[in-house]
Amino acid sequence: MTCPVCDSETHVYDSRTKLDSVYRRRKCLSCDYKFTTIEIDRDFYENLIDLKDKFLCELNSDFQRVVDDAMERVRTGIKGVYGLQNGG
Ligand SMILES: [Zn+2]
């Protein structure tokens, strides 16, 4: 694996297993940047991505509802202030 900072080669200097994953501490051979990678089961990863997509979809849906509600309140407020009818 290459360094995310300078793209040079890295080496693993520590490796630990936690539940179903493996954490590896890596260090860049060029700039000494240290970072951690996590090795997980592919099915678990893909399920995680599916969950994230569903969550974001739901979040966008909720956000759109909030925006629509706010816009309706603005429209209603403007009609109330100026005494306008629907469509005006
Ligand atoms: Zn580096």
Measured between alpha carbons, how far is 80 from 68 in angstroms, rounded to an integer?
18
Q: What is the pLDDT of residue 62?
A: 86
Q: What is the pLDDT of residue 81?
A: 63
Q: Is the pLDDT of residue 48 over 90?
A: no
Q: Which residues, 6+ apart, have CB-to-CB distance to 44 below 8 Å?
A: 20
Q: What is the pLDDT of residue 82?
A: 64
Whether pTM exceeds 0.75: no
> What spacing in Å lies between the alpha carbon of 38 and ligand 1's midpoint?
19
Q: Which residues keep their CB under 5 angstroms from ion ligand 1?
A: 3, 5-6, 8, 28, 30-31, 33
> What spacing in Å lies between the alpha carbon of 1 and ligand 1's midpoint?
11
Q: What is the pLDDT of residue 85?
A: 58
Q: Is the pLDDT of residue 8 over 50?
A: yes
- pLDDT bin (cut points 50, 70, 90) of residue 71 is confident
Element (H, E) at 17: strand 10-18
- Rg (the chain; Cα; Å): 25
Measured between alpha carbons, how far is 88 from 6 in angstroms, rounded to an integer?
60
